[in-house]
Amino acid sequence: MVYELTYGFWILLNNMNGVGEVPYREGQSIGIIPEGIDKNGKPHKLRLYSIASSAIGDFGDSKTVSLCVKRLVYTNESGEIVKGVCSNFLCDLKPGDEAKITGPVGKEMLMPKDPNATIIMLGTGTGIAPFRSFLWKMFFEEHEDYKFNGLAWLFLGVPTSSSLLYKEEFEKMKEKNPENFRLDFAVSREQTNDKGEKMYIQTRMAEYAEELWELLKKDNTFVYMCGLKGMEKGIDEIMVSLAAKDGIDWLEYKKQLKKSEQWNVEVY
């Protein structure tokens, strides 16, 4: 049995000497090195976590980084309780505790600089993290050199409605920016489509297949995918038939999109 608890929290961004800040960009990750040693007596290896806050942080002072972490606890085949090393380390931190961090790292998921772009975000579970960072910059902050005037479209897939992370934040963004933000949830254990099929992220996208395909033919449309690897295959299946109607080989077209940095994937 697997117990999944999701936590959002802030880490103060000071280096090991307690001086200075750690600058990062929307879409990057930081490494966390858990305390203690592994079964071989060596220090634990770092784990990478996508950053869930904009470059100036949730408090706007560039001194914190927000993470979205799923605590992993399960019972193995021998009946032993196993705890994920880093997720439990992070979820058990208390205010004032220290954590060793590395980075930031990552170029694959960097937010587009074009304020007029169409940005399609496909996330499952804690894969929502980089998209929260994008959306905070777009809709919760004011910048002299950046004002988002394009279209942000978020598809978030989860097993149950209780797993919809940051739901209230996103709904507030949509309420205030109805022309610039579209929001679609796919709750697989609670929702079905017209055919009675479970509502996975690719199932929800299929409802807008023609519209999404038209957007993908534009030079200023950027797609970002973060979360479970399984959704990538389902999305390809949708696009193959749509592209074929225009005489286009989807897999070849996707290679072109990747080359132009319009198709960005970070799955696990």
pLDDT tens profile 129-183: 999 999 999 999 999 889 999 999 999 998 888 888 899 999 999 999 999 999 9
The predicted model gives 185-192 an average pLDDT of 89
> For 211-222, b where at least 16 C-beta lie within 10 A, e where not — what string?
ebbebbeeeebb
Rounded Cα distance between 121 and 111, Å, is 11
The predicted pLDDT at position 18 comes to: 42
The predicted pLDDT at position 178 comes to: 95
The answer to which of 17-31, 95-109, 125-139, 216-230 has the lowest mean pLDDT is: 17-31
Strands 47-50 and 29-33: antiparallel
Catalytic: which of 86, 163, 200, 266? Answer: 266
Rounded Cα distance between 218 and 209, Å, is 15
Residue at token pair 């996975």: 200
Judged by phi (left if over 0) then psi (alpha if -120 to 50, else beta), residue 20 lies in left
Catalytic: which of 24, 49, 166, 224? Answer: 49
Residue 268 catalytic? Answer: yes
Higher pLDDT, 11 or 231: 231
| Cα–Cα–Cα angle for 73, 75, 81, rounded to 5 degrees | 70
| One-letter amino acid of 148 | F
Residues sharing a CB contact under 8 Å with residue 7, sequence separation 6 or more, in sequence order: 68, 69, 71, 90, 91
Percent of the chain with pLDDT over 90: 56
Mean confidence (pLDDT) of the chain = 88
16 has a pLDDT exceeding 50: no
- Report residue 9's pLDDT band, with 50, 70 and 90 as the boundaries: low
The predicted pLDDT at position 7 comes to: 47
Residue 226 catalytic? Answer: yes
Total-model pTM: 0.89
Strands 29-33 and 100-105: antiparallel
The predicted pLDDT at position 19 comes to: 39
Percent of the chain with pLDDT over 70: 92
DSSP code per residue over the chain: -EEEEEEEEEEE---TTS-S-----TT-EEEEE-SSB-TTSSBPPPEEEEB-S-TT-TTSSS-EEEEEEEEEEEE-TTS-EEE-HHHHHHHT--TT---EEEEEE-STTPPPS-TT-EEEEEEEGGGGHHHHHHHIIIII--BTTB---SEEEEEEEESSGGG-TTHHHHHHHHHH-TTTEEEEEEETTT-B-TTS-B--HHHHHHTTHHHHHHHHTSTTEEEEEEE-THHHHHHHHHHHHHHHHTT--HHHHHHHHHHTT-EEEEE-
Residue 91 catalytic? Answer: no
Catalytic: which of 50, 53, 66, 163? Answer: 50
Rounded Cα distance between 173 and 168, Å, is 9
Catalytic: which of 68, 86, 91, 226? Answer: 226
211 has a pLDDT exceeding 50: yes
Rounded Cα distance between 153 and 151, Å, is 6
Domains, the chain, ordered by start: 2-105 (2.40.30.10), 118-267 (3.40.50.80)
The predicted pLDDT at position 15 comes to: 46
The answer to which of 70-74, 129-133, 184-188 has the lowest mean pLDDT is: 70-74
Rounded Cα distance between 53 and 28, Å, is 10
- Report residue 73's pLDDT band, with 50, 70 and 90 as the boundaries: confident
Residue 66 catalytic? Answer: no
The predicted pLDDT at position 10 comes to: 55
Residue 146 catalytic? Answer: no
